[in-house]
Amino acid sequence: MTDTKNTDISASSLSEFMNDLYSKYKSLRTGAVADYIPELAKVNPDLFSICTVTVNGDVLQVGDFEHLFTIQSISKVFVHGLALEDHGRDYVLKRVGVEPTGDAFNSIILDEQSKRPYNPMVNAGAIATTGLIKGKGATERLNRLLEMFQRYVGKDVFVDISVFTSERSTGHRNRAMAYLMLNFGMIDGQIDESLDLYFQQCAVMVNCRDLAVMAAALANKGVNPLTKEQAVDSQYIKDILSVMYTCGMYNFAGEWAYKVGLPAKSGVSGGIIAVVPGQMGIAVFSPLLDARGNSIRGVKVCEELSQQFGLHLFDCVDRRLPHAMLRNEAS
């Protein structure tokens, strides 16, 4: 570990360290690919890539960064943002909480008092936020989701139909969650339509570079740093990043916050995104997962990047207020 701060990161030092990490962990083969969705069980476990994109649009990448895979639960971050744009934070909070659970991402649980799902990053909460997406019918709602992803990525995206149908045919736990929430009025009655939309959002195809651009847009006040297009209203960035920080890594969120200290989100296809606010987005893809459903290589890479360059939110910048401001506040 060095004393380097992220304000001093050079492209050459970051690129060199990314290549070192790629070489270091390329041979790591612990963990297993997700198999509860049959199509995901077919993936090559040796795939591995790392990508960073700065808010200025600088791209660094190593490994299989062009390989396409389904976004899976990382989609929850961006759909949460669209739900906030559609309804505002107060309304969304009535349907979905913002508390970490300490339970697995697919647990069939709701808050005992409010009857809301705990947060938008677990399956129950994500189904509820997907149910909030506006549109006249299934096609318009899907098109709005795809247009939203296009703004983040900077190009057209599509749904992998084989993964979508695989998830749809095996998603019995998700159906149970949806009917439980319907019982308590947390989602509306169009269960099949909302579940199909949820399965489709998880089956959107991206690569590691795409994810890094999406994370960089969140780091850049919602603006895609490559296309300069506003991907999400900047007023909701703090909502999105706050929930990512506390809930994005499921029942590993606490240790992640302690060791890495960045807003992040994982997906069972093997992707992880991390956001360095105001500076860059990080993405890692490796389909070998730990017992919690997080990419093993991805976690290790992010831990080392954070330590090497001082990226932890409570370490990376001097946030002391100017003396003049402190005097004004005191008076």
The residues annotated as belonging to the active site are: 73, 76, 198, 250, 268
How far, in Å, are 71, 217, 293, 303 from residue 262 at the CA level?
A: 20, 15, 18, 10
How many other CB atoms sit within 10 Å of the CB of residue 154?
18
**Which two structure tokens, joined as six digits, stand for 59?**
């791209």
**Which two structure tokens, joined as six digits, stand for 41?**
């069980």
**Which two structure tokens, joined as six digits, stand for 237?**
């960035």
Dihedral pair phi/psi, residue 59, rounded to 5°: -115, 130
User: Could you tell me which residues come within 8 angstroms of residue 263 by beta carbon, excluding any fewer than 6 positions away?
Assistant: 218, 240, 241, 242, 244, 245, 248, 274, 275, 277
How far, in Å, are 44, 212, 220, 297 from residue 215 at the CA level?
A: 25, 5, 9, 18
Helices (H), 61-187: 75-87, 89-95, 123-131, 138-153, 161-170, 172-183
Which residue, chain included where needed, has tokens 């697995």? 104
**Which two structure tokens, joined as six digits, stand for 306?**
């954070």
At 204 the three-state DSSP class reads: strand
Distance of CA 194 to the CA centre of its chain: 20
Phi-psi category of residue 172: left, alpha or beta, with phi > 0 → left and psi -120 to 50 → alpha: alpha
CA–CA separation, 292 and 319 (whole Å): 34
Q: Quick one: DSSP state of residue 159?
A: B
